[in-house]
Amino acid sequence: MLPDPLIRLIDELKRLPGIGPKGAQRLAFHLLKTPREQTDRLVDAVRDVKECVTYCSTCNSITDVDPCALCRNEDRDRRVICVVEEPQNVAAVEKTREFKGLYHVLLGALSPLQGIGPDDLKIKGLLARIGDGVTEVILATNPNVEGEATAIYLARLLKPLGVRVTRIAMGVPVGSDLEYTDEVTMHKAIEGRREV
């Protein structure tokens, strides 16, 4: 029989994404044998995230200073906004070091089956930003049913505002073999082809 505090810790760890009952138990026992100062640092880090990290009032990305560093950066191209679904998508685009514009995070994607409609996303803030000299909006939503539906919905809203609306290219990933590519990915690759 395990002590109640340990059972409670295991139960809380199981609630984390990707952590099952066995993984939660392993983590709990690891924390139990870890030196106190190390677990205190973990507890402090979790508390700091909950107390200090918030959403940027401009782009909805995560930040500890509002507005975020990207929105405050005067060197960014303010004429181009890249629309993504979640804050972690900003990091994925930034990793390429190719995009020099600003971002707008929707905090989700349209999903009628899950009850997520346009009013549940941060679309109004995006529309409000269009008048500030924005000339292009890049739709970088995920290449799945929800992401495609969101991109189509946004394109219909944005085009009448006189802004150029583009979609990120999709298709066969670099380093893969064509024989392992599914039909939808191959269709997108052929559809998004460009001249060499």
In terms of pLDDT, which residue wins out, 60 or 176? 60
Indicate if 125 and 84 belong to the same structural domain.
yes
Q: Which domain holds residue 127?
A: 75-167
Question: Please, what sign has the CA dihedral across residues 169, 174, 178, 179?
Answer: negative
C-alpha angle 70-72-75 in degrees, rounded to nearest 5: 75
Q: pLDDT band at residue 173, thresholds of 50, 70 and 90? A: confident
pLDDT tens column, 134-152: 999 999 999 888 999 999 9
Q: Summarize the confidence of residues 27-56 as an average pLDDT.
A: 96
pLDDT tens column, 59-116: 999 999 999 999 999 999 999 999 999 999 999 999 989 999 999 999 999 998 999 9
Tokens in use for 36? 């106190």
Which pLDDT score, from 0 to 100, does residue 171 have?
80
Q: Summarize the confidence of residues 112-135 as an average pLDDT.
A: 93
In the chain, pLDDT over 90 holds for what percent of residues? 80
Which pLDDT score, from 0 to 100, does residue 141 have?
94
- Closest Cα to residue 110, out of 155, 158, 169, 153? 153
Whichever domain contains 34, its CATH number is 1.10.8.420
| Residue 195, pLDDT above cutoff 80 | no
Indicate if 80 and 163 belong to the same structural domain.
yes
Residue 90 belongs to some domain of the structure: yes
Whichever domain contains 161, its CATH number is 3.40.1360.10
Residue 192 belongs to some domain of the structure: no
- Can you give the pTM of this predicted structure? 0.83
Indicate if 93 and 41 belong to the same structural domain.
no
The residues, any chain, with a CB within 8 Å of residue 57's CB and separated by 6 or more, are: 66, 67
Element of type H or E holding 173:
none
Domain count, the chain: 2
Indicate if 40 and 99 belong to the same structural domain.
no
| Residue 132, pLDDT above cutoff 90 | no
**Distance between CA atoms of 185 and 179, rounded to whole angstroms?**
12
Residue 80 belongs to some domain of the structure: yes
Indicate if 82 and 47 belong to the same structural domain.
no
Which pLDDT score, from 0 to 100, does residue 35 have?
96
- Closest Cα to residue 68, out of 107, 28, 103? 103
Residue 126 belongs to some domain of the structure: yes
